[in-house]
Amino acid sequence: MSEQMIPLTEIREKKARGVRPSPEEAPHPDLREELFELEARGELIVQRVPEPYVEVTTKFGRTKKVPIDHLWHHKSCGQCGHIPGYTTSILWLNRQFGIDYLDPTDQTSCTGWNYYASATSNAVAQLLVMCRNFAAAYETGYYPLIHCGTSYGHYKELREQLVHHKELRDQVRRVLDKLGKPLVVPEEIVHYSEWVHVMRHRIAERQVIDMRGITACVHPACHYYKIVAEDAIYDPDIYGGQRTATVTALLQALGITVADYSTWFDCCGFGFRHILVQRDFTRSFAVLRKIEVMKDEANPDMTVTHDTGCVTTLDKSQFAARAHQRRVGVPVLADSQVAALAMGAHPFRVLQLHWHSTDWRPLLEKLGIDWQKYWAEFEEDLAAIERGEKPGLTWEDAEQPIAMR
Amino acid sequence: MSAVTWSPTKSGQRYADVPEAEKRALFEEVKSDPRYPDFLYGCYECGICVSACPSARFYDFSPRVIAQALAREDVDRFYEILMEDIWNCAQCFSCVRCPRGNNPGGLVTLMREVAVRHGLERAQQALQGYSRVIYKIMLKGNQVSPDMLQPDFFPDWGPWVREFSRNMAAWRKAIPVDTLRNVTDAAWRTDDKTLRELYRIWFETGNMEVIREVDEGLYELLVEIMEEELEAGS
């Protein structure tokens, strides 16, 4: 077909204008209004977003409040279990900014991973796990910040079910009564990457590592922006407002070049059950649809994402693919790790890069970071622990940015 | 897994020996879930869900066919999907970009729940390798823990899995987060009271009965430990 038959100029102009959606065009009513109505009827308590907060816009132009302070860190089992530098980086950033936060022991996984993988649960049990965690946060007075993309998406899905189905609410309330807990739902379900997003300019102000020579590809987490799509942050200045803005806006604020690639929308291949027991699917999808496409189209220095499953899948799937001469070798980091690294966090005490499989050394070398020096320091830490001289690393050991020493 | 291959043209022929009433009863159970009307509105057959679906690229799997079969209330086709397809879904919910507002991933979840509740052999087969994760979540309140990083479980993740495993004790002590430091059998340190509340939830919501359908041995092991803990805490 010729250019005359397809109005390419008009299409390009339309795309360049950027999407500025209106809340009236949203396909579903604002769930928060329904939450407040239920609260007015005495059915539940809505935990308000505490001040200070930043207002951002979501996919259909609604405003979402993202709290800055007084945070209850709803941790992620996948992050804490297999990628601990993810969690350490989030909390390190909190500490650098003097945020009043809580790292609770009265918290379980969301159990969403198990639910999506195995179906050995049911809607009421899932809701109760969520509500028990939310009640635990409410009792402390801190506001939940959800670290895991799946917990975040799962909770949004469950919150909708709780609001729309009285029979589920009644069943949940009966069990919560037995546990002596109130039925509490936060006003906003907030993902940690949204906190990083609203903090990005403050992070950039304290940047000590020059990242302008770096090119990155972004992989957004399916459970962040696909389940209950209305709640994800969009910005007309990022991808013309047609894709979610979290992660990308942070990287741009840090001076990193974000390179687009054609399978941006695709899932990483995690698959829940698949990553554990049917990994041929996971590996194939991660390498063929994501890493190789990024490599061919953008050749990035790193891939940055914001979910546990995505970091795990994209990072770990690259090793086996090397045996088949696939085009792999892209280090995978979370946005919190990149933000912490930019502010001078220690690559091992904070970023815990030794838990990652795909080689991150070329990235650190390109950033001018002498990783051998910091690894030697970390090995000394480990030796001191082994000798019983210290029980483990504390925040005192990890607090100071490397450039300040 | 069955060697039967997906063939859209042979709908309803593969399980002709299964009574229609049995298929209908299972379908009605899925349909009666309160979430069902939120997940299915109808299907334009536009195929947008298929174009976004990772499983459609790697398996004979189609979210469009699932939405279609359920919208038409084609119980023969529904039964084939229940027996052959549902465990291939990656639960990424890319399919919810459906312009009609369908949620095929959600429909798969409902079908999986029914398959597990009835202890269907195919569900038991699909979950055979998954019992250690179920055990972990039921007892520890976490789905993933550092001690799961074993070379025999993740041989394709490369030599680093051996490193994680070998250095686990020291590396976990070298994490400055207070709730993670020195914890290897769970993702973070969880209060006993929190775990007992979780155990109450599993019993009160009938979830233990679900586990019994899929793995009787696992169920007995879990019940014994949980009941002992609940008694100790009461």
Cβ atoms within 10 Å, residue A164: 15
A25 touches chain B (CB under 8 A): no
How far is CA B101 from each of CA A166, A272, B37, B39, B81, rounded to the nearest angstrom?
22, 24, 11, 8, 21
Answer for the pair A150, A267: CB distance below 8 angstroms, yes or no. Answer: no
Residues A175-209 have pLDDT tens digits of 999 999 999 999 999 999 999 999 999 999 999 99
Does pLDDT of B9 surpass 80? no
Residue B8's pLDDT is 54
State whether B177 and A284 contact (CB < 8 Å).
no
Chain B positions touching A75 (Cβ under 8 A) are 179, 187-188
Backbone angles phi, psi at B77, to 5 degrees: -65, -40
- The alpha-carbon gap from B158 to the nearest alpha carbon of chain A, in Å, equals 6
- Chain-chain contact of A226 with B214 (C-beta, under 8 angstroms): no
Q: What is the ipTM for the molecules in this complex?
A: 0.94
Of the candidate ranges A133-137, A214-218, A239-243, A363-367, the one whose mean pLDDT is the lowest: A239-243
| A45 bridge partner residues | A184
Mean pLDDT of B149-178: 95
- Which residues is B86 bridged to in the sheet? none
Shortest Cα–Cα distance, A3 to chain B (Å): 26
From the CA of A256, how many Å to the nearest CA of chain B? 28
Mean pLDDT over the full length of chain B: 93
Residue B93 near residue B103, CB atoms below 8 Å: yes
**Do residues B164 and B158 touch, judged by C-beta distance below 8 A?**
no
Q: Is residue A121 predicted with pLDDT exceeding 50?
A: yes
For residues A381 and B173, give the distance between their C-alpha atoms in angstroms, rounded to a whole number.
10
Span A363-390, mean pLDDT?
97
Average pLDDT over residues B206-218: 94
Read off the pLDDT of each residue in A305-318 and give the average, rounded to a whole number.
97
CB contact under 8 A, A391 and B182: yes
Q: Is B90 helix (H, G, I), strand (E, B) or coil?
A: coil
Contact A179/B179, CB-based, under 8 Å? no
CA dist., res. A69 & res. A82, Å (int): 27
Q: What is the pLDDT of residues B89-107, one digit of tens each?
A: 999 999 999 999 999 999 9
β strands within A14-146, DSSP E: 45-47, 53-57, 63-67, 71-74, 101-102, 143-146
Contacts with B156 from chain A: Cβ below 8 Å = 279, 283, 319-320
pLDDT tens, position by position, A56-90: 999 999 999 999 999 999 999 999 999 999 999 99
Q: pLDDT band at residue B2, thresholds of 50, 70 and 90?
A: very low
Q: Is the pLDDT of residue A20 over 90?
A: no
Buried/exposed code over A104-128 (b: 16+ C-beta within 10 A; e: otherwise) = bebbbbbbbbbbbbbbbbbbbbbbb
Taking an 8 Å cut-off on Cβ atoms, the answer to whether B187 and A109 are in contact is yes
DSSP string across B191-212: -HHHHHHHHHHHHHTTHHHHHH
Residues B11, B80 contacting (CB under 8 angstroms): yes
**Contact yes or no for B176 and A398 at CB 8 A:** yes
pLDDT band at A328 (very low <50, low <70, confident <90, very high): very high
Would you mind telling me the total number of residues written for chain B in this entry?
234
CA atoms of B154 and B151, how far apart (whole Å): 5
The three-class DSSP label of residue A166 is helix
The residue among B50, B53, B58, B166 with the most chain A CBs within 10 A of its CB, best to mutate, is B58
pTM for the complete prediction? 0.95
The answer to whether residue A153 neighbours chain B at the CB level (below 8 Å) is yes
Please tell me the distance from the alpha carbon of residue A28 to that of residue A292, in angstroms, as a whole number: 37
Residue A87 near residue B180 (C-beta atoms within 8 A): yes
Task: Classify A244 as helix, strand or coil.
Answer: strand
Average pLDDT, chain A: 95
Tell me which chain A residues have a C-beta less than 8 angstroms from the C-beta of B175. 84, 88, 352, 392-393
